[in-house]
Structure 1
Amino acid sequence: MHATRRVLAHLVVPAATALLATLGAATTASATPSQAAAEVCEDICIDDVRAATHTGYDRVVFDLGAGPLPTVTASHSTSPGFMTPGGEPSQIRTLGSSYLYLNFKDAEAGDFSETNPSPELFNLPTVKASQLLWWTSNILGFTPETAFGITLNGPVSRYNVFTLTQPNRVVVDIYR
């Protein structure tokens, strides 16, 4: 009986040790974060959009990746309609009382176009939602450009668009 235990110990202990070593290696390998494919944009990527309310205004922030800051133009309209780069008419999905259209020249939607293809709802006092409208890449010598629409509710006295660095971002303050 004692000999049987010794034989089993010689068989079971190495097998158990090998099994535990394999599980430990698998656990260690899976605990290490995987390296996601790095986002690649010709100039700079638009990574995220977020918004918050403050006394007298709402702020929308477009978080950018590394690279030269884009040139941003803005226009205010009471129409939800816009034209795509191909000349097709389209419309913002979230309706409001007015709209702010932003064009980011020398910026691409990057992974944002895949992770946030739908309108981002905010429901703040003035800012109701933002939506990625369209983007173009650096194809055939054209400059990359990305357009966003911001759906507004209620009166807007003015807005201010500016860029900040460390980290790179475009800020839009919309005053009530």
Structure 2
Amino acid sequence: MHATRSALARLVIPAAVAVLATLGAVPTTAAAVSQNAAEVCEDICVDGVRAAAHSGYDRVVFDLGAGPLPAVEATYGASPWYMTPGGEPKEILTRGSSYLFLSFKKTEAGDFSQTNPHVESFNLPTAKATQLLFTTGSILGFSPATDFGITLDGPVSRYNVFTLTQPNRVVVDIYR
């Protein structure tokens, strides 16, 4: 009888372990699929930001998803204050000598908030940080927009904002 139980255990235990391992893998696989699902934005998503120093200028690049490129409005000034869509004045968190405010029209932050910090610091000669200021949805007939602030330090002679494709991105060159 003991030999029969031992033989049965050698057959049943590995099969039970395999079945339980398979059952345990199902939720993990489903979770992985949901995490890899493509983000959905009405027009185009802002996916990330990066920056680098070049000879004579700093470059800040906002990576975008697929879709039509946004129109970008830029405002340069010495004050760190900006107005929220609700009319509330707020201040950029990172201090500098000047600031560049960008509004990307017909964009959404997508998963930017989950994959990037709201304030991204850079150790560059002029560009010190970017900050996600706010996003607006398409409510009351308004198009969605995503607004950023770039903290600058030191002399700025001019800046240039333009879009590129393959991959889609907004580029900001800040000249010293």
Q: Same fold (TM over 0.5)?
A: yes
Q: Which runs of 5+ in 1 are unaligned?
A: none
Structural RMSD (CA): 2.1
1:146 aligns with 2:131: no
State the SS of the aligned residue for 2:48: strand
User: For residues 50 and 172 of structure 1, what CA distance do their matches in structure 2 show?
Assistant: 11
Pair 107,31 (structure 1): closer, same or farther in 2 beyond 3 Å: closer
- What's the counterpart of residue 79 of structure 2? 79
State the partner residue of 1:19: 17
Q: Which amino acid aligns with 2:14?
A: A
Q: CA–CA distance in 1 between the matches of 2:72 and 2:128?
A: 21
**Equivalent residues, number:** 174
Tell me which amino acid in the other structure corresponds to 1:19.
V
1:135 aligns with 2:135: yes
Q: Deviations over 1:107-134 (max 9, x none)?
A: 1112223444531111211110000111
Greater CA drift, 31-40 or 156-165: 31-40
Query: What per-residue deviation string (whole Å, max 9, x for no partner) do you get for residues 70-99 of structure 1?
Result: 000112101101111222111101010100
Q: Distance in 1 between matches of 2:122 and 2:61?
A: 12
Deviation at 1:28, TM superposition (A): 7.8
Give the residue type in structure 2 aligned to 1:34: V
TM-score when normalising by structure 2: 0.88
Tell which structure's C-alpha radius of gyration is larger.
Answer: 1
Question: Secondary structure, in 3 states, of the residue corresponding to 2:133?
Answer: strand
- Structure 1 vs Structure 2: percent identity of aligned residues? 62
Tell me the TM-score normalised to structure 1 length.
0.88
